[in-house]
Structure 1
Amino acid sequence: MNITKEQIDDLNAVVKVAITKEDYQDKVESILNDYRKQANIPGFRKGHVPMGMIKKQYGKAVLVDEVNKLLQDNLNKYLTEEKLDVLGNPLPKQQDNFDWDNDQLDFEFELGLAPSFEVPLKTKKALTQYKIVADDKMINEQVERIQKQYGKLVSQNEIAKDYEVIGTFKNEEEEIENKTTLELDKVKSKTALKALIGKKIGDEVVLATKGLFKEDYLLSSVLGVSQEKAKDLDIEVAFTIEEINEREAAALDQELFDKLFGKDAIKSEEELKARIKEDSEKQFEQQSDQKLLNDVTEYFIENIKFDLPSEFLTKWIKTTGEQPLSDDQASEEYEKSEKGLRYQLIEGKIIKDNDIQIQFDELKEFAKGFIKTQMAQFGQLDPQEEELDNIAARVLGNQDEVKRLSEQLMSQKLLTLYKEKVNLKTKEVTYENFVKEVYG
């Protein structure tokens, strides 16, 4: 077997593979002999079928199969040994006059090669790294929510501002009948609030669904219908009042502090606010980190210039999918995927240049940290190390989970590198202003 490469340009090459009978004949003969031993053909004893008949029936199929195996194994070996950085997969060139009976079988494969480029991490432009702070307004609102959540309900005779009303929504035509709790502080419609204020148990109020709540998703739950049905729903519903309650705010005392954070962890309102600020800003850090990662990614894609073997990749996309694509469809798919491919190459270059690796032990520790965070959400604040090890072992036994966690850990490592190397400017903002500035 002989394999040679013809370089077309920096991004395209053709690999030629010449296979002779000596490369495959022994293997083909061995397989056909096995077929002969097992063949059951009327008129012949088992194992005594003439080899000519076996070759006529099976010879071409076995030859094609063995040659294809040789091609695949040796072509992959050649690409690895020659350290060719190939995009997509080698594409066989069409040969109109190919003859499987020739003594030498010649194959040609088109290659799309990865471009050569550099990634200077010290960006010319200073990118913004947001530091999101919890301001007094946010902290006070959170304290109020805690007081309301842990407060007690006091029965009332008449609806007043910010009360909670238990009742049943009905609309026969839309087959709606759902008992629920209506929290007046979440109602947006002034008309609805005016209709509800002053009503008593047993009264019925007709409310319009359009624009009823401050948050659109609430309509689905109070009516007991799907989000899809609730979207753009513009009808009137009857609401029958069954119970009226005022939620009396919980006192900011030691009993509440212990309930929230454990015994004596917090001992005053000032400490509570400080804890809320600390916990909030830890959560905000995740959002600002994701924003930074996105911004650095976008900057590299826009500013690191290199060509791609676009014609080859379009052809590869056209022929390798589950369904063959037209030229126009393949071009459209390439345009959609080009940006992602560019960043894959850039990210791969950064990882290689900076020798970023993921070891199993650190992946295990990363998984344990992830598990510990999830357990804390369900009140398990101090799990045993043995329990974490056992859960991590089960998680890492799933290849999909290993892939997902590895990608997350790699993103974390890249983010750490960017914070060290990229030209950054820090901007301190409240969460409200961060949302306005980033999401509009």
Structure 2
Amino acid sequence: MEIKSSKINGANALIEATILREVIDVNLEKIAKELAKTASVQGFRKGKVPISVVKKQYGDKLVQDAEAEALREVLNKGLEELSIANDELIGEPNISKFDKSEDKIEVAVKVAMRPVIELGDYASLIKEVEKPEVSDEDVDARIAELAQAQAPLKDIARNRKMKDGDTAVIDFEGFVDGEPFEGGKAENFELRLGSGQFIPGFEDQLLGVKRDEEVEVNVTFPENYGGTELAGKDAMFKVKVNGIKVKDEVAIDDELAKKMLPGEENATLEELKKQVKTQIENEELSKLYNDNLKPELLEIFVEKISFDLPEFVVDQEIDMALNKKAQGMSEEEIIELRENQDKLEELRETLRDDAKKSVKATFIIDALASAEDIKVQEQEVMQTIYYEAMQMGQDPQKAYEQYKSAGYLPAIQMSMVEDKVLSQLLNSKIKEA
């Protein structure tokens, strides 16, 4: 068996071989002898089946197994010649050529390897990060906002026209086509105007109304209104304003700090201001990181760090991008691509540069995570999914199982690793404002 092995570059290799007919025959004979020991064939005792009968019974399957055995030998010898260990390989070998003739098989096998990435002095590629400046006015405004949110409601003494932010205490009853509908009636309901709690347009029509006044409010239920028979229907509500409430004033002092910092001994307004300032700084920094600095830093790494990419990984990325693009195509466009191979390849090539950048970024993040000793365990992924599901009012366990069954957990984990790596690198360059 003639084998020729060569490394295309640091991430790809090609193993070519000529497998002679005699090699296939020897393999077939060996496999048939082994199978004869265990095969069950009617008319013969187990272990006593003649090899000629086994060959007749399992003909094509034996040939396929003999060829597969020869291919395995080609791959193993080729990897040995190239000094490539199995744990260096990525994905399955790709058989790019398998030409059979009467006396031989010409084969070519492409293999992909994990690229060796020389990160160099990657820290020097990171620009200095100026910490966002938070003023005393910003802190005072946030504390006033938090205090207002906790403030109790009180009735207003003067009967004035209602405005945005007031809480209307109302009786209402709704009608569709002149008939009351189920769930459309309440008494002394407290509705904060501007909250968007009711059907669009309802709260706006209460602006300028006074206590003890009665009005008719005309609205249209949204088309996606809970999938009920009310969706898209016009409705009229009879509304009576029983009272108007506003938020009471809350003193911003040490007592407020104690309420807002539960469990902290000696909580003071100064301590509250420090914590609120840190919170605002973190929010502004997070926004700066996610909107600008992280994408910019990853772009710099992709541009400055050079290494070879495994071809098949790039092709997989192109396939995913192509499938995503196809979702927005018409049926005619998809049929045309299926029938026109040249056009399909042309489209694939337009996606190649972005695919290479994406694959390169993934390998760089992986190398940086090792260099920075950053890991994300499955437990952290689960906690993140649980937290986001609870924020959206979903069942956390159900959300996690859906992600898991769809095979999304590795992608979420990689995204979290990327976030941690880039955050840690940027944090190392923070300069106080």
Structure 1 residue identity aligned to 2:193: L
Aligned partner of residue 132 in structure 1, secondary structure: coil
Structure 2 Cα separation of the partners of residues 426 and 158 of structure 1: 52
Answering whether residue 420 of structure 2 is matched by residue 416 of structure 1, we say no
State the match for 1:348 in structure 2.
363
Residues 316, 158 of structure 1: CA spacing in aligned structure 2 closer, same or farther, 3 A cutoff? closer
Residues 137, 91 of structure 1: CA spacing in aligned structure 2 closer, same or farther, 3 A cutoff? same
Residues 268, 23 of structure 1: CA spacing in aligned structure 2 closer, same or farther, 3 A cutoff? farther
Answering whether residue 249 of structure 2 is matched by residue 240 of structure 1, we say no
1:24 alignment partner, one of 13, 23, 27: 27
Aligned partner of residue 132 in structure 2, secondary structure: strand
State the match for 1:160 in structure 2.
162
Structure 2 Cα separation of the partners of residues 76 and 316 of structure 1: 28
Structure 2 Cα separation of the partners of residues 169 and 302 of structure 1: 64
Answering whether residue 354 of structure 2 is matched by residue 339 of structure 1, we say yes
> Any residues of structure 2 matched to 1:175-214 within 5 Å, and which?
182-186=191-195, 193=204, 195-200=206-211, 203-206=214-217
Shift of 1:147: 1.9
Residues 283, 6 of structure 1: CA spacing in aligned structure 2 closer, same or farther, 3 A cutoff? same
Aligned partner of residue 131 in structure 2, secondary structure: strand
Structure 2 Cα separation of the partners of residues 77 and 159 of structure 1: 89
State the match for 1:75 in structure 2.
75
The percent of aligned pairs where both chains have the same amino acid is 18
Structure 1 residue identity aligned to 2:357: R
Aligned partner of residue 108 in structure 1, secondary structure: strand
Residues 55, 238 of structure 1: CA spacing in aligned structure 2 closer, same or farther, 3 A cutoff? same
Answering whether residue 100 of structure 2 is matched by residue 92 of structure 1, we say no
State the match for 1:143 in structure 2.
143
Residues 365, 71 of structure 1: CA spacing in aligned structure 2 closer, same or farther, 3 A cutoff? closer
1:374-404 deviation digits (Å, cap 9, x = unpaired): 7xx99xxxxxxxxxxxxxxxxxxxx976875
> Any residues of structure 2 matched to 1:394-409 within 5 Å, and which?
404-405=412-413, 408-409=416-417
Answer whether contact 1:152 1:248 (CA < 8 A) is retained. yes
1:350-378 deviation digits (Å, cap 9, x = unpaired): 7658961648xx7569949x78x97xx99
**Stretch deviating more after TM superposition (195-204 or 310-319):** 310-319
Answer whether contact 1:87 1:114 (CA < 8 A) is retained. yes
Answer whether contact 1:192 1:208 (CA < 8 A) is retained. no
Structure 2 residue identity aligned to 1:344: V
Answer whether contact 1:128 1:426 (CA < 8 A) is retained. yes
Aligned partner of residue 272 in structure 1, secondary structure: helix
Provide the aligned length of Structure 1 versus Structure 2.
378
Residues 305, 151 of structure 1: CA spacing in aligned structure 2 closer, same or farther, 3 A cutoff? same
Residues 412, 117 of structure 1: CA spacing in aligned structure 2 closer, same or farther, 3 A cutoff? closer
Structure 1 Cα separation of the partners of residues 115 and 139 of structure 2: 51
Aligned partner of residue 240 in structure 1, secondary structure: strand
Answer whether contact 1:127 1:425 (CA < 8 A) is retained. no
Q: Report the TM-score when normalising by structure 1.
A: 0.61
**Stretch deviating more after TM superposition (59-68 or 331-340):** 331-340
Structure 2 Cα separation of the partners of residues 426 and 353 of structure 1: 22
Shift of 1:55: 0.9
State the match for 1:278 in structure 2.
278
Aligned partner of residue 58 in structure 2, secondary structure: helix
Structure 2 residue identity aligned to 1:143: I
Question: Which consecutive unaligned segments of at least 5 residues does structure 1 have?
Answer: 210-218, 228-232, 379-398, 429-440
Shift of 1:335: 4.0
Shift of 1:73: 7.7
**CA RMSD, aligned part only?**
5.6
Aligned partner of residue 225 in structure 2, secondary structure: coil
Name the structure, 1 or 2, with higher relative contact order (CA <8 Å, separation 6+): 1
Structure 1 residue identity aligned to 2:214: D
Structure 1 Cα separation of the partners of residues 26 and 302 of structure 2: 46
Shift of 1:296: 0.8
Structure 2 residue identity aligned to 1:339: D
Residues 72, 426 of structure 1: CA spacing in aligned structure 2 closer, same or farther, 3 A cutoff? farther
Answer whether contact 2:201 2:219 (CA < 8 A) is retained. no
Answering whether residue 273 of structure 2 is matched by residue 258 of structure 1, we say no
Shift of 1:62: 3.0
Structure 2 Cα separation of the partners of residues 363 and 9 of structure 1: 31
Structure 2 Cα separation of the partners of residues 153 and 83 of structure 1: 73
Shift of 1:69: 5.6
Answering whether residue 171 of structure 2 is matched by residue 172 of structure 1, we say no
Structure 1 residue identity aligned to 2:211: K
Answer whether contact 1:165 1:181 (CA < 8 A) is retained. yes
Shift of 1:33: 1.0
Q: Report the TM-score when normalising by structure 2.
A: 0.62
Shift of 1:407: 5.4
Structure 1 residue identity aligned to 2:286: Q
Shift of 1:32: 2.5
Residues 135, 296 of structure 1: CA spacing in aligned structure 2 closer, same or farther, 3 A cutoff? same
Structure 2 residue identity aligned to 1:408: M
1:246-286 deviation digits (Å, cap 9, x = unpaired): 22243335543223212554644343223211222233333
Aligned partner of residue 206 in structure 1, secondary structure: strand
Answer whether contact 2:130 2:432 (CA < 8 A) is retained. yes
**Stretch deviating more after TM superposition (106-115 or 268-277):** 106-115
State the match for 1:269 in structure 2.
269
Structure 2 residue identity aligned to 1:152: P
Answer whether contact 1:128 1:292 (CA < 8 A) is retained. no
Residues 46, 147 of structure 1: CA spacing in aligned structure 2 closer, same or farther, 3 A cutoff? same
Shift of 1:297: 1.1
State the match for 1:54 in structure 2.
54
Aligned partner of residue 345 in structure 1, secondary structure: helix
Structure 1 residue identity aligned to 2:16: K
Answer whether contact 1:13 1:111 (CA < 8 A) is retained. yes
